[in-house]
Amino acid sequence: MTDLKSNNIPLMLGVLVGFATGIYANRLARKKTSVSPQKILEQVKKTFQEETPIQGAWINTFTQPFQKFAFKTQVYSGGISRIEDRQLIQYKFLADAKTGGVLDLQRL
């Protein structure tokens, strides 16, 4: 007669390893990552420079809460200036801290 306890050990180890892997994968998926403000600013500058040279740009290095209707996220705020029709024109923008996408752009 075979020992049932010794036959279940590999099964139990497999279940435990699977459970631990699931917990680890869940934590990785929930980990909040964000795009650096410098990368966001470089992308905004690159996009603006496709039309005309920019004169200056800045971005805050801290996030702030943003909500539009039911959508809530953290954003970086920044600004950029360039010459348009011989005048210095300034823009301000809000970029999603998680994705880096520009959520709002306003000409001042």
| CA–CA distance, 19 with 40 (Å, rounded to integer) | 38
| CA–CA distance, 91 with 105 (Å, rounded to integer) | 7
| CA–CA distance, 40 with 26 (Å, rounded to integer) | 27
CATH of 37-107 given 3.10.450, 1.20.950, 2.115.10, 1.10.260: 3.10.450
pLDDT (0 to 100) of residue 26: 57
Query: Mean per-residue pLDDT for 78-100?
Result: 93
Query: Mean per-residue pLDDT for 28-56?
Result: 85
Please tell me whether residue 26 adopts helix, strand or coil conformation: helix
74 C-beta neighbours (distance < 10 Å), count: 14
Residue given tokens 């410098």 in the structure block: 38
Extents of the domains making up the chain:
1-31, 37-107
Name which residue leads in pLDDT, 92 or 29. Answer: 92
pTM: 0.68
